[in-house]
Copies of this chain bind each other. A is one copy, B any other.
């Protein structure tokens, strides 16, 4: 579901590029010198195993037919994956849930005025792409969890359909009340568009793919090139996942056969209005027929028309009806039991369901996972005995709503919170740079892994390549950090893939990764995301697939075998301190903006600059922004920083042989809760399912992360009292984290004085 990481990495000052100290390169974090050597040997053996040709063949099989939720081939893929895992020596099972997954019965979109036009709503089968003609098995173009509806109304163009776009419409006197909005893909996760439209009174929503974003403006269209053809459209979920993901009828609990279910009308995450995604071939006649003011420059796409806002002469009829029955989903769960800490689990997953054939999304990631599993199976035969239990999941139902991962995580919540030491997620793969995202207590760990993986194009380490990309395109501050800091910053996680229930609901330390940035295309969630497309335009030789297996396998093994869990809190503390700086800056910006606008209103600026031929309403005056009390957060952040520094001293002594096996075990039991300490008991305002106080998908960005979300969104929405309350809650969480770190230090503390 996650659109592959494409944008170049973000991060100039003239400081020397400092290589990590040689000692670090030798001893793995969390390992004694002796066990480090052993581990490095196993990892080296492991990285020689994954084969591009096997990934290619697995992709061919898994993407051979459409395999969405409830499809025969989806079940077949799950069984095949289970059998493969078993054949590699894993304990493999399938776990089933029953979930609400609507599929379309009626889809009609027609323009009724000023001229008649009926949208095609269909992607063309291509002779160059053998699987594109599997019509009888394909899910048609639609948005899952759209409302049923039959509406006829004038069109209003809302750009990306985010709240700021409605402010622009409002200044032009345009309301969407009673209208059908047409939004373009991009600028936010798709589910935000109908949600905001509904909040503003719209009765229907169309979402189209503008050729500027992934069509002919970007390059040759499929099948000549990799980009979206004129009838290509993007399927996808519009469930309100920033409120809670997973089965809409069973929030917080596993959707087992006998689970207590909400009535559908009480499921708050199901969209209330009909929503339909369309191709630019279908969108162009509608947009061209619109009247009303010309759209602002930044709203214009690449169609050869004048983009107008409406509402005017263009009236459309949208009729959608769905089959709302429950469907089964099949999660594949496979384990290697741990030899020393069987009740500490290292969990890893990638989904197996797709919107159609899904060669890229998600099979390119699933085949890497499969090769990791095969590699570890080989090592088992050679005598490798991981200390911790390794759990590999292939999730079903990710596309509609992270169904498989969420229901499994909810079903096993207590056990996971007790046992899981890490969740590592992937979701497809491409060519280019390593995406490094996740919990910042694992930043050091992830950097160390990335330094050991070779980039197949440049033969540099994937870490080095990412560092140098930052030195090319990063901000001055990012360049400075990339040159001077031992660790590259990893990104915080929002949503859009299966890490969400683990990290944000359960507080399992989490990483997410994949390669991308050199693999553009416009086949996302279409019938053209196929084996034919992938093997012509993406990681055609599967060398990045191998690199992904090597990266993830190394990380999983290194976490599973560590004497001491490799959490490090200096990077976390530095990151949190950066977030606090951002929050203060955000408040100042919001406050300045209010003050400036109020002043402009007083000065008569809007009246004086209004063009009678293109009138704009003046914004409304607002109450000035109060100062916020950031002191509790600053103090807690300082505590965490001091605790992290002390822990590093204790850690060094402990790993040098100063700590007993019992002490290590005790510390491990503490460290695995590094993210659970950051959960808020009541979760985030208006969405208690999301409990992590540092990371969440934005309520109005959808996939995009909001760090310190309770505070940040309160500031952005000018809920000042809530902002102050949330600051206290985050401060308490940071104090809990500092206490956890001090507790870990105490557990490791030897009688010997720390030098």
Q: A575 at the A/B interface (Cβ < 8 Å)?
A: no
> How far is it, in angstroms, between the C-alpha of A226 and the C-alpha of B368 when the chains are bound?
57
Provide the A425-446 mask, 1 if CB < 8 A to any CB of B, else 0: 0000000100000000000000
Q: A22 at the A/B interface (Cβ < 8 Å)?
A: no
Q: A447 at the A/B interface (Cβ < 8 Å)?
A: no
Q: A86 at the A/B interface (Cβ < 8 Å)?
A: no
> How far is it, in angstroms, between the C-alpha of A216 and the C-alpha of B307 when the chains are bound?
9
Report, nearest first, the 3 A-B pairs whose CB atoms are least far apart.
Answer: A468-B608, A304-B304, A468-B605
User: Does the CB pair B306–A518 fall under 8 Å?
Assistant: no
User: Does the CB pair B304–A303 fall under 8 Å?
Assistant: yes
Looking at the assembled complex, report how far the CB atom of A657 sits from the nearest CB atom of chain B, in whole angstroms: 38
User: Does the CB pair B211–A304 fall under 8 Å?
Assistant: yes
Name the residue on B nearest A613 (C-beta). Answer: B518
Given A300-B217, A458-B608, A608-B464, is A600 in contact with B306 using a C-beta cutoff of 8 Å?
no
Q: A294 at the A/B interface (Cβ < 8 Å)?
A: yes
Q: A383 at the A/B interface (Cβ < 8 Å)?
A: no
| CB within 8 Å of B: which A285-336 residues | 294, 300, 302-307
User: Does the CB pair A469–B608 fall under 8 Å?
Assistant: yes
Chain A interface, number of residues (Cβ within 8 angstroms): 46
> How far is it, in angstroms, between the C-alpha of A472 and the C-alpha of B605 when the chains are bound?
6
User: Does the CB pair A609–B304 fall under 8 Å?
Assistant: no
Provide the A459-477 mask, 1 if CB < 8 A to any CB of B, else 0: 0100011001101110000
Given A17-B603, A304-B302, A599-B14, is A460 in contact with B219 using a C-beta cutoff of 8 Å?
no
Task: Determine the chain B residues whose CB is within 8 A of the CB of A607 once the complex forms.
Answer: 458
User: Does the CB pair A220–B608 fall under 8 Å?
Assistant: no
Given A300-B302, A472-B605, is A294 in contact with B600 using a C-beta cutoff of 8 Å?
no
> How far is it, in angstroms, between the C-alpha of A604 and the C-alpha of B217 when the chains are bound?
31
Partner of A12, one of B472, B518, B596, B609: B596
Task: Determine the chain B residues whose CB is within 8 A of the CB of A465 once the complex forms.
Answer: 608-609
Partner of A611, one of B218, B518, B605: B518
Partner of A472, one of B218, B307, B606: B606
Q: A595 at the A/B interface (Cβ < 8 Å)?
A: yes
Q: A128 at the A/B interface (Cβ < 8 Å)?
A: no
Provide the A91-106 mask, 1 if CB < 8 A to any CB of B, else 0: 0000000000000000
Task: Determine the chain B residues whose CB is within 8 A of the CB of A173 once the complex forms.
Answer: none
User: Does the CB pair B220–A469 fall under 8 Å?
Assistant: no
User: Does the CB pair A306–B605 fall under 8 Å?
Assistant: no
Given A14-B599, A304-B303, A432-B611, is A471 in contact with B605 using a C-beta cutoff of 8 Å?
yes
> How far is it, in angstroms, between the C-alpha of A592 and the C-alpha of B432 when the chains are bound?
29
Given A458-B607, A609-B472, is A304 in contact with B596 using a C-beta cutoff of 8 Å?
no
| 17 residue pairs bridging A and B, Cβ less than 8 Å apart | A12-B592, A12-B596, A14-B595, A14-B599, A17-B603, A216-B305, A218-B294, A219-B294, A457-B612, A458-B607, A464-B608, A465-B608, A468-B609, A469-B605, A471-B600, A472-B600, A518-B614
| CB within 8 Å of B: which A596-652 residues | 596, 599-600, 603-614
Task: Determine the chain B residues whose CB is within 8 A of the CB of A605 once the complex forms.
Answer: 468-469, 471-472
> How far is it, in angstroms, between the C-alpha of A17 and the C-alpha of B603 when the chains are bound?
8
Task: Determine the chain B residues whose CB is within 8 A of the CB of A471 once the complex forms.
Answer: 600, 603, 605
Looking at the assembled complex, report how far the CB atom of A290 sits from the nearest CB atom of chain B, in whole angstroms: 12
User: Does the CB pair B469–A609 fall under 8 Å?
Assistant: yes
> How far is it, in angstroms, between the C-alpha of A157 and the C-alpha of B12 when the chains are bound?
33
Looking at the assembled complex, report how far the CB atom of A58 sits from the nearest CB atom of chain B, in whole angstroms: 24
Task: Determine the chain B residues whose CB is within 8 A of the CB of A432 once the complex forms.
Answer: 611
Task: Determine the chain B residues whose CB is within 8 A of the CB of A518 once the complex forms.
Answer: 611, 613-614
Question: Which of A304, A468, A600, A614 has the most chain B CB atoms inside 10 A of its CB?
Answer: A304
